[in-house]
Structure 1
Amino acid sequence: MKQITNTLLMVRPAAFRMNEQTAVNNYFQEKLAINNEEINAQAQQEFDAFVLKLRNHGIEVLVLQDQKELDTPDSIFPNNWVSTHENGNVAIYPMYAENRRKERREEFFELLEESGFKIKSVVDYTEAEEEGIFLEGTGSIVLDRQNELAYCALSARADEELFIEFCEDFEYFPVVFNAYQTVEGKRLPIYHTNVMMCVAEEFCVICLDTIDDKKERKLVIDQLKKSGKEIIAISEEQMHQFAGNMLQVRNNQGEKFLIMSASAHNALNTQQTAQITKYCQILSSDLHTIETCGGGSARCMMAEVFLPKA
């Protein structure tokens, strides 16, 4: 299976702001001292500049416009509710915040089909919401598609049993662990796996310092090494600049890029940058407003399209 794609589906925000329903356990979110209209306008500017940069580098980006009346402040992060797979299957995931459940829109699939992609079947896990069980897509699950491995840091948004069920349905070997960050002197679970690790074709950027249990840390390191990935370790401080929230993609010429925000790029040291650029170019864009209010970054904004062409 392919690890990286050249097609992304992104959702342009219409009502972006700090989502009070996600802030309860997303410790990356912060308030900005401007009103919500201004926040949304700034987020739209950052989004448009980001999409333009991706397209200018030969990466195919399909854009779905959010609808203001839905009042979905986090619609800009579609990878949390949907994932697509090479065999034509699509997974739809249960979301922790009630106002995020409205992000799941039929138009998303219509846009894919209009763009020539074929959806064979949909695996829908959303019933789990009724039991208070959640698994937030490729936010909660970091996939090593090539080696059929799925990494998951458990949290209120990543249920172990449902993760195992996903792995059985999609034929991945589960790698389960706990990852923490320090919040006001306490070690609390990190809300999404993809803020502390990114698996690319040849390497993995990971904040090992967040895996407090030594056995669990060894398990993760062993799996990465066994699958031939060079481990590029980042600090917890760098993780807070979203240096773990990255995605490797390729363009229509087959050139590879590691996509990240400007703050993530600036947080990397010379050695880490050299480790990455051995394998691919770095492509970064300023996402300051989106990161500050949304508590998510470049990776969260990109839903990868792996579906076959019709």
Structure 2
Amino acid sequence: MQQITNTILMIRPVAFRMNEETAVNNYFQEDIDAKNFDINTKAQAEFDGFVAKLRAVGVQVIVEHDDLKMDTPDSIFPNNWVSFHENGTVGLYPMFAENRRRERREEIMTRLESEGFHIESFMDYTPAEEEGVFLEGTGSLLLDRVNKIAYCALSPRADEELFIEFCEDFEYTPIVFTANQTVDGKRMPIYHTNVMMALAEEFAVICLDSIDNPKEKKQVISALRQSNKEVVNITEAQMHQFAGNMLQVRGAEDKKYLVMSLAAHKSLSKGQITQIEKHCEIVSSDLHTIETCGGGSARCMMAEVFLPKKE
């Protein structure tokens, strides 16, 4: 099993804006006063710059265009509705916001097959939407693919029973906890696990301060240590700069990179950068508009493709 891949699926936005349906429990989203520029055009420019940086280091980026008819403001974050696995399985996930359910498009599977990937089967959790139960892909699930451990911070977008079902289906050991952030003086659940935590081959970046329950915190640290991951601990302030929303990928000649936004990169201390750079280089890109309006960052924009290639 591999923890990281050199192939990423990304969706170029056509109707990007602050999604009013997700703003109810994504406290990272803010409205931008866009009198002087078009938000979608700015997001497209950030997207294109990001893709160029990934390709420059040899990451294979498959870019699929969003469909204007769908009116899907968050389509730029495909990792929430789909996951791709080494055994040829594609996971499809139930989404909290109704307008995000339209992001699941058949033609994206067709595109991957045309790129030479083999899809064996689908594991479809989307019927849970009818019950008001959600599990938003690798936003909610953090997968240690090598050690078969799945981490999940429970929230309105991450249901415990469905998470356990996923772990049974894919044979992962579940680690369940709650991660909070302070909103107007109250502790509120962080909407996605991948905002407070990132798993690389040799290390994990995590905001331990967000796990208020000491027992749960201990359990998470213990699971990371047992799987030989060095812990890079970030503060809540750094998490708000999307320093937990990172992804390790492979570039040319199997070289490893940790991908993040410019804001995340700038928020890191010298010590944290040293910890990371012992293991891999950092690639960062300016995603200011996408982060501010979308409330998601670099990790959310990349759906990792682990599917086998056709014979």
TM-score category, normalised to shorter length:
over 0.9
Q: 1:166-185 CA distances to partner (integer Å, 9 max, x unpaired)? A: 00001100000000000000
The corresponding residue for 1:309 is 309
The corresponding residue for 2:82 is 82
1:206 paired with 2:206, answer: yes
Which amino acid in 1 is paired with 2:241? Q
1: CA distance between counterparts of 2:241 and 2:228? 27
- How many angstroms does 1:266 deviate by? 0.1
Query: After alignment, is 36-45 or 49-58 more displaced?
Result: 36-45
2: CA distance between counterparts of 1:25 and 1:170? 28
2: CA distance between counterparts of 1:68 and 1:38? 16
Alignment of 1:206-245 (within 5 A): 206-245=206-245
TM score, norm. by length of structure 1: 0.99
1:72 paired with 2:72, answer: yes
The corresponding residue for 1:106 is 106
- How many angstroms does 1:67 deviate by? 1.1
1:121 paired with 2:121, answer: yes
1: CA distance between counterparts of 2:65 and 2:224? 37
For residue 237 of structure 1, give the secondary structure of its aligned residue in structure 2. helix
For residue 253 of structure 2, give the secondary structure of its aligned residue in structure 1. coil
| Root-mean-square deviation (Å) | 0.9
Which amino acid in 1 is paired with 2:233? A
1: CA distance between counterparts of 2:113 and 2:27? 36
2: CA distance between counterparts of 1:54 and 1:134? 31
- How many angstroms does 1:37 deviate by? 7.3
Unaligned runs of 5+ in 1: none
2: CA distance between counterparts of 1:88 and 1:36? 46
1: CA distance between counterparts of 2:126 and 2:262? 34
Which amino acid in 2 is paired with 1:98? E
Which amino acid in 1 is paired with 2:228? G
The corresponding residue for 2:158 is 158
1: CA distance between counterparts of 2:124 and 2:255? 34
Which amino acid in 2 is paired with 1:172? Y
1: CA distance between counterparts of 2:140 and 2:36? 28
| Runs of 4 or more above 4 Å deviation | none
Alignment of 1:52-63 (within 5 A): 52-63=52-63
Q: 1:83-135 CA distances to partner (integer Å, 9 max, x unpaired)? A: 00001001000000000000000111011100000000001000000000000
The corresponding residue for 2:258 is 258
- How many angstroms does 1:251 deviate by? 1.1
2: CA distance between counterparts of 1:137 and 1:67? 21
Aligned length: 310
The corresponding residue for 1:96 is 96
The corresponding residue for 1:149 is 149
The corresponding residue for 1:51 is 51
Q: Sequence identity of aligned pairs in percent?
A: 69
1: CA distance between counterparts of 2:117 and 2:176? 32
2: CA distance between counterparts of 1:100 and 1:35? 26
2: CA distance between counterparts of 1:9 and 1:73? 17
The corresponding residue for 1:172 is 172
TM score, norm. by length of structure 2: 0.99
2: CA distance between counterparts of 1:219 and 1:111? 40
Contact 1:17/1:36, CA 8 A, preserved across alignment: no
Contact 1:196/1:206, CA 8 A, preserved across alignment: yes
Which amino acid in 1 is paired with 2:39? I
For residue 283 of structure 1, give the secondary structure of its aligned residue in structure 2. strand
For residue 253 of structure 1, give the secondary structure of its aligned residue in structure 2. helix
- How many angstroms does 1:69 deviate by? 1.4
2: CA distance between counterparts of 1:126 and 1:37? 36
Go from structure 1 to structure 2 and tell me whether the alpha carbon gap of 1:210 and 1:293 turns closer, same or farther (over 3 Å shift): same
Q: 1:241-293 CA distances to partner (integer Å, 9 max, x unpaired)? A: 00000000001310000000000000000000000000000000000000000
Contact 1:81/1:95, CA 8 A, preserved across alignment: yes
The corresponding residue for 2:16 is 16
- How many angstroms does 1:36 deviate by? 11
Contact 1:29/1:294, CA 8 A, preserved across alignment: yes
For residue 212 of structure 1, give the secondary structure of its aligned residue in structure 2. coil
